[in-house]
Amino acid sequence: MPPAIPGKPIDSDIEHTLRQHVAFLCNTLPHKFPGSQPVSFGSHHLQALQREDYWVCEKSDGIRLLLFIVINPRGNVQEVYLIDRHNKYYEQDGLVFPHFTDPIRSLRDTLLDCELVEDTDPRTGMKTLRLLIFDCLIADSENIMDRPLTKRYGRIRDRVYKPFSAMLTKFPEFRKQLPFQIAVKEMKPSYHVASVLSSLPTLQHTSDGLIFTPVTTFYVPGTDSNLLKWKPKADNSIDLLLLLHFPSSTRPSEPDLAALPRAALYTWLGGSQYAFFDLLALSPSTWEKWKASGESYHGRVVEVAWEEKTEEWRVLRFRDDKPNANHVSVVEKVLESIRDGVEPEEVRSSLSFLAKRSYFVARTSSTSDPRSLERTRRRPKTAGTTATTAAGETHQINVGYHAPCG
């Protein structure tokens, strides 16, 4: 179970102003989460890893967030927020980030890509909430999304983490007021993938795969076809919208909310459009557990994986941290990864020989300027409140019509 997001939601007017400001800094749309999203790994990506420069890190099974540091012009006071994938802002008390040139000054507009995890000490069982920073979009009011990963990662360490860590060393009493601990996520050249895979069992938080980040390309808001998410073949999953369709009760106009419903899964088409994908095999025993829990399951995003033995979709967890199900284009890529999955040994053997090639090692340590490369930014399109059935028909989806369970 992912940890809860710390902090408090903010006033809608202030949130609107902050969204506009972040959109201005990132050159993105204000109503969209500006973070980058990976694509699922397929066997054809092995050639890309051999051909291009990539860094690899473990894929934490936590909550994806952005950390936003901003100066409030009223009073010239620094404020810190966490931004979730719903583009909701949570104000954080107790966090202070000094400026890298002068610890007396405050760091200005800075936007960091992070994952919130809950680490558990295997000896004591003590749990620690930790924010792992792995990328930087804005550093002290400077947009660095068009810089290579080496530069962006360096800004995290030099301009954010080092001054922050030095402050805690000088004033250790500040640690008591922190809402969570902060660390920079370790990333390595892709040819070190074997050591990263070997480290997964030793982590104090759950990890469900690897992330391969391209070194020389830009940071891309939304889906980035060069940013790769690898999972073992059996662990590839899809996030789908779950709608429960109940049979009629003795009163034809009212559904029987106690009866076993038809559990339908839908892919996202963009905007408010959804298309029927498949049925979820909901057993009577599982339905009774859901009812007894008192939770609402209808209209939620659910993460499912394909069970080859039973040829059914298996529920992994509910993804309330995600505002939408996976887009149909993402679903197609995940299905391709399920059919054409890459096992750990294939990844190891494909990349291990690169470490022996001195020119490749030298190349991955370079900091080539990617500004000569072309980049196209995708702009999302709005759509109506419709859905497509299994027969291909488009119709209105009323999530509120089918009453939630419990």
Residue 371 burial (C-beta neighbours within 10 Å; 0-12, 13-18, 19+): exposed
> HSE-up of 375 (CA within 13 Å, CB side)?
19
Q: CA–CA separation, 67 vs 80, rounded Å? A: 7
Nearest to 305 by CA among 284, 321, 326, 322: 326
Residue 190 burial (C-beta neighbours within 10 Å; 0-12, 13-18, 19+): buried
Q: DSSP class of residue 249? A: -
**Enzyme catalytic residues:** 59
Distance of CA 163 to the CA centre of its chain: 27
Q: How far apart are the first and last CA of the chain?
A: 21
Q: Name the H helices within 240-298.
A: 284-293
E strands present in 89-234: 89-91, 110-120, 127-139, 142-143, 181-184, 188-189, 207-214, 222-230
Residue 98 phi/psi, 5-degree rounding, is -75, 160
Q: What are the helix and strand counts (H, E) for the chain?
A: 9, 20
For residue 82, the surrounding DSSP H or E stretch is strand 77-83
Q: DSSP class of residue 140? A: T
Please list the residues that pair with 238 across neighbouring strands.
Answer: 304
Q: Name the H helices within 39-115.
A: 45-51
Task: Look at the block and give the residue holding tokens 């051909």.
Answer: 51
Q: Please provide the size of the chain in residues.
A: 406
